[in-house]
Structure 1
Amino acid sequence: MTPSARLQTAVARGYTRVTASALGPRQSAVVRIGFSFTWLLFLVREWPHRRELYGPDAPWNWDMAARLIDGNRAFSALMWSDSTVWFEIVYALAIVSSALLLVGWRTRTMSVLFMIGVLSLQNRSIFVGDGGDNLIHLMSMYLVLTRCGQVWSLDARRAARGGADRAWPPRDTTGIVLWAVTGTALLWAQLFTDARLYLTADGPLPGLGWGTVLWGLWLVHAGWWFVRRYAPGEPRIVMDALAKVAHNGALLVIMAEVCLLYASAGWYKIQGSRWQDGTALYYPLHLDYFSPWPWLADIVASSGTLVMVLTYGTVIVQVAFPFTLLNRRAKNAMLVLLMLEHLGIAVLLGLPFFSLAVVAADAVFLPTNVLRWAEARLGRARDRLAARSVWLPGQRARESDEVSPDGTLVR
């Protein structure tokens, strides 16, 4: 085979792989679960302080936020109105969409609402948050383009029961109602609120306003439903291939984002004198803000050798991680070290949400075999728990009872 023929064959195989399947279904599901759980946990934890962080009682008041957004053209639904009621609605929407995305209910719609909630709150008060919030900010937009509900979701469960691959799928009344409600809400916001001033501004891409983005996503969802319902032939195949390309492209961007995160963090650390002499970790351990357990920080800081090893180890694993992607075993070992590093950051420095966000991003590199193993183990545990909790009416389950395959008790 000539070199040109080999190249053509390789290109054809790559094209088929990218357009014929949505790669990394379990990895994208873990990313979805990780980021939605992190954001949901943060919102619930800060519920008593929500108005001081993002609402009408925030030091960064609504007028200051409006002037800033007029300049940077960021998106925030909280700028549509300065009403306290509107703020409570947006905050509640952020919580609900995070919870529903976590369990994988209508992931296409919930991923868009999740993105709106994240951007609205974070862009309202840009000085609240840390690196983990920036990561959630970016990933919320990437998740919109992924098929993150293929597994481990209520969508996958419903598809398995209803036959998602049938030529004529059943009528989706819930999806139609949800689509109509979101379209009505968007139309109301653009016609009757201050949203018209912001939806026409610059969006995620130059010259593309946020109104165009949101209406475009709304129309794409309608087009996908129409094609699945009434054009199951070639139009469906084409749209399905485009969706898979978008998913695979977004997954590649997420991977590149994680590599860029570690590479930039590691190389910037190398330039710092405290990182060069191995004492950088010593200083945050003595800051009250980063010491939830001072006695534990004192134990770590009391050993100069341990501080030096952790300081140099942090730089080494961050700089080396992008290069270990060339070797699967090295990548898996480095991934474990990175997750342990962020577990240590969560405990020692009191940054649990930052650590959860980074670990959720790292999960995109988890081996499929490990995720399959975890899925099988959790499935067996769930089946055993369900079997033990089922009994016939009027009878109590005893340890000597046997459970038949259909879930009933056999004496």
Structure 2
Amino acid sequence: MTEPADLLPAPAAAVPTAAAPESPTRFERLFDAFTTRTAGPHQAAVVRIGFGLTWLAFLLREWPNRRVLYGDRSPWSADLADRLLSATHAFTVLSWSDSRIWFETVYHLGIVAALLMVLGWRTRAVSVLFAVTVLSLQNRNVLVGDGGDNVVHLMALYLVFTRCARVWSLDARRRARRAPAGEAGPGEARAVADALATMLHNCAMLVIAAQVVLIYSTAGWYKIQGTRWQDGTALHYPLHLDYFTPWPGLSALLGSSLLVTFALSYGTVIAQVAFPFTLVNRRVKNVLLALMMTEHAVIAVVLGLPFFSLAMIAADAVFLPTPFLLRLGELPGRVRRRAGRTPLP
């Protein structure tokens, strides 16, 4: 006789559940971010614009003197330059020919490249041209410069490896206009190339930041070893040199006060030595960064070193906070909207 239990359907076989995916490790998350996330696109854009403006302003200002500085009228003749280049192995395309036409071509290509860097047009190719013109002109005559040329020299090389036109550029505007709705994802080869470009960018941004830290730390620790910085009188001397006094009245006013000279000398050393250690505290870093940018602006006016100051301010921009840069980028739009709402008289 059949038991009632025999009439019940057999229980379904247990279906093995798929194992829950393991959460990625910290290393995997960091590697994923390193290969897929462009670090500091706004900071990179400001650095690009800043150094483009610095080099453009320098070339335009020295345009009447270009042949004396780097060309056929330079006291540092082509023969002397070639002898030095044979020892240093520095790169310059100006050593390829002594022709004035060649020199004029390189110099004016430098102006064009600097302008296009500021605008962010075809930046991948233009950044290479920018670096070539910077190296070529600066290595033609290494005796010309105020310290800012070394910073421009280094940053021009680093910018080649960055994706510094992701925002605030004509390239970014062109990409935004061309991107259709529902665009298919990139192919495998393009994805690999994109990951490599992102990694190069992130490495270059890290090197730029490390370079700025190195500049300040070495400058500060070398100053500590100087007796004039130790007794607080170091800034007294440049404030009384004709070469560093574009505004004699202002320089005399600052240099006549022992307290002001002492405070500025010690403040400069403290800020430069402390800067690397403030990077672990965002608020302290931002305050000190603002002070150092202000200091460079003062140096540009008081000591007459505008291009050095512009170069350092552009380099410092790599540490600017993103929210501040976003608000700064919204400023032109706000000005246009307010201008549009203003009634005409």
What TM-score results when the alignment is normalised by the length of structure 1? 0.76
TM-superposed deviation, 1:16: 1.1
Letter aligned with residue 304 of structure 1: L
1:77 aligns to 2:22 (yes or no):
no
Separation of aligned partners in 1, 2:309 and 2:222: 19
Aligned to 2:241: 287
Separation of aligned partners in 2, 1:163 and 1:382: 26
Aligned to 1:375: 329
Aligned to 2:311: 357
TM-superposed deviation, 1:382: 3.4
Aligned to 1:93: 109
1:48 aligns to 2:64 (yes or no):
yes
Question: What do residues 271-310 of structure 1 show as CA deviations (whole Å, max 9, x unaligned)?
Answer: 0000000110101000000000010011111111111110
1:115 aligns to 2:131 (yes or no):
yes
Letter aligned with residue 238 of structure 2: P
1:130 aligns to 2:130 (yes or no):
no
Letter aligned with residue 248 of structure 1: N
1:266 aligns to 2:211 (yes or no):
no
Q: Kindly tell me: are residues 165 and 104 of structure 1, through their superposed partners in 2, closer, same or farther at Cα, counting changes over 3 Å?
A: farther
Separation of aligned partners in 1, 2:232 and 2:58: 33
Aligned to 1:156: 172
Separation of aligned partners in 1, 2:139 and 2:180: 38
Query: The residue matched to 1:146 in structure 2 has which SS?
Result: coil
Separation of aligned partners in 1, 2:126 and 2:180: 19
Aligned to 1:341: 295
Aligned to 2:6: none
TM-superposed deviation, 1:383: 4.4
Separation of aligned partners in 1, 2:52 and 2:326: 21
Aligned to 1:66: 82
CA contact (8 A) 2:117 2:126 kept: yes
1:238 aligns to 2:212 (yes or no):
no
Separation of aligned partners in 1, 2:27 and 2:49: 33
Query: The residue matched to 1:88 in structure 2 has which SS?
Result: helix
CA contact (8 A) 2:70 2:137 kept: yes
TM-superposed deviation, 1:378: 2.0
Letter aligned with residue 381 of structure 1: V
1:29 aligns to 2:49 (yes or no):
no
Which ranges in structure 1 are unaligned for 5 or more consecutive residues?
169-227, 389-396, 401-411
Moved >6 Å (runs of 4+): none
Letter aligned with residue 50 of structure 1: R
Question: What do residues 98-126 of structure 1 show as CA deviations (whole Å, max 9, x unaligned)?
Answer: 00111111010110000011000000001
Question: What do residues 347-381 of structure 1 show as CA deviations (whole Å, max 9, x unaligned)?
Answer: 11000000000000000000000001111122221
Query: The residue matched to 1:325 in structure 2 has which SS?
Result: helix
What TM-score results when the alignment is normalised by the length of structure 2? 0.90
> Higher relative contact order by CA 8 Å / sep ≥ 6: 1 or 2?
2
TM-superposed deviation, 1:164: 7.9
Aligned to 1:206: none
Separation of aligned partners in 2, 1:367 and 1:28: 12
Aligned to 1:20: 36
TM-superposed deviation, 1:384: 4.5
Q: Which moved more, 1:63-72 or 1:29-38?
A: 63-72
Letter aligned with residue 318 of structure 2: V
Q: Kindly tell me: are residues 77 and 131 of structure 1, through their superposed partners in 2, closer, same or farther at Cα, counting changes over 3 Å?
A: same
Aligned to 1:298: 252
Q: How many residues align?
A: 324
Aligned to 1:314: 268
CA contact (8 A) 2:146 2:305 kept: no
Q: Which moved more, 1:81-90 or 1:373-382?
A: 373-382
Q: Which has the larger radius of gyration?
A: 2
Percent of residue pairs bearing the same amino acid type? 59
TM-superposed deviation, 1:130: 2.1
